Structure 1
Amino acid sequence: MAVIKVRNSGEVIEGVDKVHEFLEAQGVFFERWDIGKLPEHLVEKFDLTDEDKANILNVYDEDIRSLAERRGYVNWDVIALSDQTPNIEELLKKFEQVHTHTDDEVRIITAGHGIFIVKGDEKTGYFNIELEAGDVISVPENTPHFFTLMDDRQVVAVRLFIDTDGWVAHPYEEKEHQI
């Protein structure tokens, strides 16, 4: 279950209802999916074959299509990151820079953990969203954010988008160092 940590106040927000309420107020979509659908051999597997990725998409096909229909997404794939990922350090450095997109950034975590750092409203400032398997999130287009891994450094996620061009990261510069 996702946990929110507000950086400027130190507030920690837990529990499905409270997390959903907080994220909704910040314009971030959140819901939980049944991770129990995932076949046992994929539950903690982070070095995926194309067949494994297709299996994950097949298992969640109905859920993915429902989300896509509700929110306008037309493309999806699976990404896996771990210490076995070639060039993982370079990828993480790229991910850990605050940026925006012209499309929502959507992740359905199917294994492992990750953290989205999102710029909220003026009062809230930046907050961490610590995600685990079953968490579904959509950071709205043009919202400053970045993504990184948690200490276990492993995550598998389904990514959804409207147009692959919308996934181009546009650097975001803070007027003051607020992260």
Structure 2
Amino acid sequence: MAEIRIRNTNERISGEQEVREFLSKQDVLYEHWDPSKLPAHLQEKFALTDEDKSEILSTFDTEIRDLADRRGYKTWDIISLSDATPNLDELLKKFENVHTHTEDEVRAITAGRGIFIIKGNEEIGYFDVELEAGDVISVPEGYAHFFTLMDNRQIVAVRLFIETEGWIAHSYDDPTFVK
């Protein structure tokens, strides 16, 4: 289940309802899918074949299509990151810069863990959303944020897009942000 850490105060928010309410006030969508639907052989597998990716998408097809229909997403895929990923550190550098998008950034975590760091309203400032299998988040277009892995450096997620080109980031220079 997702957990939030507000960086200014180090306050932590946990529990599905509390997390959902906090994120809703920041205009961030949070949902939870049943991670136990994923076949056991994929629950801790982070180096995926094309067949594995197809099986994950098939397993969560109903949830993906429901979210896509409600929010206008047109395409989706799987991203898998782990120490087995070629050039992982270089790839993470690309993700770990504060940026925005011209569409929502949506991730449905199917295995592993990751963190979205999001710029909230003036009162809240930046906050971390620690995600694990089953957590679904949609950071609204134009919101400053970035994503990184947890200490175990393993994640598999469904990504949904409106733009058929996929993930396109726009740098966001924020001198107030401290990693």
Task: Specify the TM-score bucket, using the shorter chain as the normaliser.
Answer: over 0.9
Opposite residue 12 of structure 2, the aligned amino acid is: V
Give the secondary structure class of the aligned counterpart of 1:73. coil
Q: Is the 8 A contact 2:126 2:177 kept in 1?
A: no
Q: Which runs of 5+ in 1 are unaligned?
A: none
Once the two structures are superposed, what CA deviation does each residue of 1:4-42 show, in whole Å capped at 9, x if it has no partner? 000001110000000000000000000100111100100
Q: Is the 8 A contact 1:102 1:167 kept in 2?
A: no
2:45 paired residue number: 45
2:153 paired residue number: 153
TM value normalised by structure 2: 0.97
Cα deviation for residue 92 of structure 1 reads 0.7
Tell me whether 165-174 or 16-25 shows the greater mean CA deviation: 165-174
1:77-156 equivalent positions in 2, closer than 5 A? 77-156=77-156
Cα deviation for residue 178 of structure 1 reads 5.0
Give the secondary structure class of the aligned counterpart of 2:48. coil
Q: Is the 8 A contact 1:125 1:178 kept in 2?
A: no
Give the secondary structure class of the aligned counterpart of 1:123. coil
Aligned pair in 2 of structure 1 residues 12, 45: CA closer, same or farther (>3 Å)? same
Cα deviation for residue 168 of structure 1 reads 1.2
Cα deviation for residue 164 of structure 1 reads 3.3
Opposite residue 107 of structure 2, the aligned amino acid is: R
Cα distance between partner residues in 2 of 1:107 and 1:154: 14
2:73 paired residue number: 73
Cα distance between partner residues in 1 of 2:148 and 2:178: 17
Give the total of aligned pairs.
179
Once the two structures are superposed, what CA deviation does each residue of 1:135-171 show, in whole Å capped at 9, x if it has no partner? 0000000000000000000000000010134631000
Aligned pair in 2 of structure 1 residues 66, 175: CA closer, same or farther (>3 Å)? same
TM value normalised by structure 1: 0.97
Opposite residue 113 of structure 1, the aligned amino acid is: R
Q: Is the 8 A contact 2:74 2:164 kept in 1?
A: no
Aligned pair in 2 of structure 1 residues 38, 177: CA closer, same or farther (>3 Å)? closer
Cα distance between partner residues in 1 of 2:167 and 2:149: 19
1:30 aligns with 2:30: yes
Once the two structures are superposed, what CA deviation does each residue of 1:31-72 show, in whole Å capped at 9, x if it has no partner? 100111100100000000000000000000011000000111
Cα deviation for residue 174 of structure 1 reads 1.1
Opposite residue 40 of structure 1, the aligned amino acid is: A
Q: Is the 8 A contact 1:46 1:82 kept in 2?
A: yes
Cα distance between partner residues in 2 of 1:172 and 1:90: 19
Q: Which runs of 5+ in 2 are unaligned?
A: none
Cα distance between partner residues in 2 of 1:47 and 1:152: 14
Opposite residue 60 of structure 2, the aligned amino acid is: Y
Opposite residue 44 of structure 2, the aligned amino acid is: E
Give the secondary structure class of the aligned counterpart of 2:159. strand
